[in-house]
Chain A
Amino acid sequence: MKFFIGQVMPYITVTIFLLGLLWRVWRWTGALRIHNIALSPFARNWVDTIGIILAQILFFWNPWKFDRPLWVGAWPMHAALVGVLGGHAVGIYFMGTQFTYIGLSVAASKQASVLLGQLVGIVFLVALLYLLYRRIAIEKVRAVSAPSDYLHLILLLAIVVVGDLMRFLPSAELEYEEARHYLAGLFTFHPVPIPDNWYFIIHFLLVQILMIIFPFSKLVHPLGMLWERWIVNRPYQDTPLGLPGVRLTLGGPAGETTASKGV
């Protein structure tokens, strides 16, 4: 079973993840009829559009303005997610020495790496618990929830709990070197046996399950958001003003034609 989870399944998982995402996005893009349904705020040009979308992605602007209790859980959760994913990539690749690039010693860098990992790991856990509590306890959120909405949160919580245990319990910890060696084997298509650490094996398995269901769930919302906002936030040019044949034109009284004023 360790062989399957460690050396076979990852390839199946990534294939399903990538092809699944492509297929999902293909279905969206294949729907070609798009009416010009611009929605406030109105972008006058593509810079405006990018600004609107960035404000939503970076600051969760709408939850901040229109449902602060949601923002309190959602933004820290996603920020911690970015921290966790980035931390995995950078921490494992550089084996904890990434902060030597900003002048820390190797030992200090490794300490910082551990500390940051612990910090985002806790924030992530607390935020997820808050969101789960919200979904159970607040009527309007409970009313719109299907069983899978709870299950997604529980799966994420399981992944984070195991990950946090690995970060906080010395007995559960996995050395960067071992993780790096194992992952390098996968990336270079020369898989090696999965490290003999049950926390890691469970963590890794749960993450793969998440990746398999990802393309077939609401987890694609980062992409969905872009596709949706490309419709409603696209720049819209208004028809020029200026009434033809009037005595009092926009340029002033009588005499001028308004042909040049956008008729």
Chain B
Amino acid sequence: MAAEKKLKAPKKATEAELRAIHIKPVPDEEKPQVALELLRRYKDEWRSLVMAMETCVKCGLCAENCHSYLGTRDPYNIPAKRADLMRKVWKRYFTPQGRLFGWLVGAEDITLETLEMWYSYFYQCSECRRCGHVCPFGIDTCEVTMAGRRILHQLGMVPKLHATTGAAMLKSGNHMALTPAGIQDTLEFLSDEIEEENGFRIEFPVDKPDSDILYVPSSADFMLNPETLKGAARFFHYIGANWTITTRMTEAGNFGYLFDQALVQKELVNRLFQEAVRLNVKKIVWGECGHGWRAIKMYYNTMADLPHRIPITHILDEAAEYVKRGLLKLDKSKNPEPTTLHDPCNYVRACGLAENLRVLIKAACADFREMEPNREKNFCCGGGSGILFDDPDMYELRIKFSLKKAEQIRATGAKVLCAPCSICKAQFHPMIEEHHLGVELYGLIDLVGRALVWD
């Protein structure tokens, strides 16, 4: 279709890839009707979506507060207009004014073209909630894009990236399809590295029963960000923890949250609680992943079929408490370079971590510099909600989405960028090159681990 050629959209999953996540695509001619049925069901159930649809007054405040619009200047990347892609259909079929007055009140019929627009623009939103933070009413536009992605998923319109990651999650309990053997090997290797660097060995306990703590790292740590794993191991060793990682659920993230919010998301939640019971742990500690922390923190009680009483906290919150009480001996000179902090959206706008990140980074680094704006006003890295696409069109967009961020980083003059979130790290690795930022990239527990003083 002509419209499709102009739209930038991620490569779609094939039928085989959809089958791997148990989706049978809906034929094109039935898609609008099925989409409408699903939307009607959400209208009756899902209050945050209802309020987003019903409360917007089109004031336009969200526009220049969204990195996506600032980087692309595409009007459909204005959060209110992005939401309008769904709202115009909502008005048309679910409101008297939309049924009576159509285009006059901004109502429109749903067509296949509508759904292609949804697919393009709901995957250009990184679900960072900055728009929700600045909106006078607190309208959370990502509730709209999440609902949109859920509907598209059931129609069979899923990005290849999300579908294949979902399949990996169902099969192996993590995004990267790491196998138990692969996990063991990597951790052995990292123990070797720690031994070289620290002069003593720290083992990573794996599938150890009767552990007190279950640590859940991001699977990307194993391939892309091993310093984060080493930092966590150092922290647990320092405090003398009885901890373990499980090979059945080695994933702090949850891509299912980012497209299906059903079977795939639940897979990790179910595995988590099965393992927590099997290994008889008393507490679950989460690793460095933004959306994953938000997903488990906000949804685990409603996602799991039974209420679970094993408490879950974040490693950075726990470590910060140790620093606040003066119990971690840290040597700032181990992190001497000027360092700036990227506040991951999900940490600061969804999970209240902003101050604890600063407690840690100020204690571990000699020359910490804030970027502006910061904390909950910070801008997204541009890769949130897994929109880390590599197809040329979408990769170009990633560069634009991270434009505002690049400006912020450059302005600090920092040589080290600390980004304690897995998707942010995945975005920054290439974007640091694209924007010629010349900074090294670390997580936060990495820096804490390096600064620890061992008696």
Contact = CB atoms under 8 A, between A and B. Distances in A.
Given A227-B55, A248-B327, A39 B242 contact: no
A263 B51 contact: no
A70 B58 CA distance: 11
Interface in B139-195: 139-140, 143
Interface in A19-72: 24, 27-28, 30-42, 56, 60, 62-63, 65-67, 70
B265 to A, nearest CB: 12
A38 B321 CA distance: 22
SS of B interface (majority)? helix
A233 interface: yes
Interface of B: 43-52, 54-61, 63-65, 69, 75, 78, 80-81, 84, 95-97, 101, 103-106, 129, 132-140, 143, 212-213, 238-242, 282-283, 285, 298-299, 301-302, 311-313, 317-318, 321-322, 325, 327, 348-350, 352, 376
A141 B137 contact: no
Interface residues of A, number: 68
A116 interface: no
A246 B313 contact: no
Nearest to A42: B352
A19 B44 CA distance: 20
A37 B58 contact: no
Given A31-B43, A216-B97, A248-B239, A231 B48 contact: yes
Contacts of A252: 327
A28 B63 contact: no
B136 A247 contact: no
Contact of A145 (B58, B143, B311): B58
Contact of A138 (B43, B60, B138, B139): B60
A263 B311 contact: yes
B137 A221 contact: yes
A74 interface: yes
B244 to A, nearest CB: 11
5 A-B pairs with the lowest CB-CB distances in the bound complex, closest first: A247-B240, A146-B106, A224-B55, A245-B212, A40-B376
A218 B57 contact: yes
Q: Which of A33, A148, A232 is packed against the most chain B CB atoms within 10 Å? A: A232
Interface string A207-247: 00000010011101100110111011100101111111111
A244 B243 CA distance: 10
A147 interface: yes
A85 interface: no
B140 A70 contact: no
Given A37-B140, A245-B213, A66 B134 contact: yes
Given A31-B45, A35-B302, A243 B58 contact: no
A28 B54 contact: yes
Contact of B61 (A28, A62, A227, A250): A62
Given A31-B44, A66-B134, A246-B239, A231 B51 contact: yes
Nearest to B75: A143
14 contacts: A28-B51, A33-B47, A35-B298, A40-B352, A213-B97, A216-B97, A228-B48, A229-B137, A238-B352, A241-B318, A241-B321, A246-B241, A250-B322, A250-B327
**Residue of B61, B132, B321 ringed by the most chain A CB atoms within 10 A:** B61
Given A149-B58, A218-B58, A39 B129 contact: yes
Contacts of A246: 212-213, 239-242
A67 B64 contact: yes
A240 B311 contact: yes
Given A143-B75, A250-B327, A218 B138 contact: no
Contact of A250 (B46, B104, B285, B325): B325
Contact of B55 (A40, A65, A225): A225
Nearest to B303: A35
Nearest to B237: A247
Nearest to A67: B61
Interface centre among B95, B139, B325 (most CB of A within 10 A): B139
A141 B138 contact: no
Contacts of A190: none
A146 B97 CA distance: 13
Contacts of B45: 31-33
Contact of B60 (A39, A42, A140, A228): A140
A140 B63 contact: yes
B78 A62 contact: no
B48 A37 contact: yes
A213 B96 CA distance: 11
B25 to A, nearest CB: 27
B294 to A, nearest CB: 9
A170 interface: no
A39 B350 contact: yes
Given A37-B350, A252-B327, A27 B50 contact: yes
Contacts of B302: 35-36
Contacts of A218: 55-58
A39 B349 contact: yes
A50 B18 CA distance: 46
A225 B135 CA distance: 10
Interface in A125-151: 134, 138-141, 143-149, 151
A113 B236 CA distance: 71
A103 interface: no
A152 B298 CA distance: 38
Given A225-B137, A243-B283, A146 B58 contact: yes
A65 B52 CA distance: 21
B455 to A, nearest CB: 11
Given A39-B133, A239-B311, A263-B282, A34 B48 contact: yes
A228 B352 contact: no
